[in-house]
Structure 1
Amino acid sequence: MSKSKRIQVAFTESQWDLISCFRGEFGEGDADIVRNIVLAWLAEKSMITSTVKNKIIQKNMGGHDD
């Protein structure tokens, strides 16, 4: 696995009740569930493909993304 970044987030009790319903579907651990929900949301909004396409275009045009 590549280098990871740890962050702390807070959820209300009702938000966590909803998120915990995905246990087993999106992972077993709390971090796995939240990470997979975020990635699924990004994919649903086409943000992952848009970002990758933009990076490829920038790279081909000689731009830097650093």
Structure 2
Amino acid sequence: MASDDKAKRKRVQVAFTMSQWKLIENFRGEFGEGDADIVRNIILAWLAEKSFISTVAKNKINNGSENHNGR
């Protein structure tokens, strides 16, 4: 990974109970191989399922359109 890519990342530390972690471990291979990949992909899948990702994208597109139309 290039140093530029590392600079653009935000690292966070989270804690799970053992029962939560056992559940998360079941996704190894489906959502990634590494712990961080699995947790990241679970979060992104949940956001997509709840339509948060598309809502934010639509809002950014609409706000961008309004800014360009006001010129």
Match of 1:45 among 47, 50, 60: 50
Matches for 1:19-34 after TM superposition, within 5 Å? 19-34=24-39
Q: What is the letter of the counterpart of residue 31 of structure 1?
A: A
How many residues end up aligned between the 2 structures? 63
Higher-helix-fraction structure: 2
Instruction: Name segments (4+ residues, structure 1) moved above 3 Å.
Output: none
> Which one has a bigger Cα radius of gyration?
2
CA RMSD of aligned residues (A): 1.6
TM-score, with structure 1 as normaliser: 0.89
Q: Which runs of 5+ in 2 are unaligned?
A: none
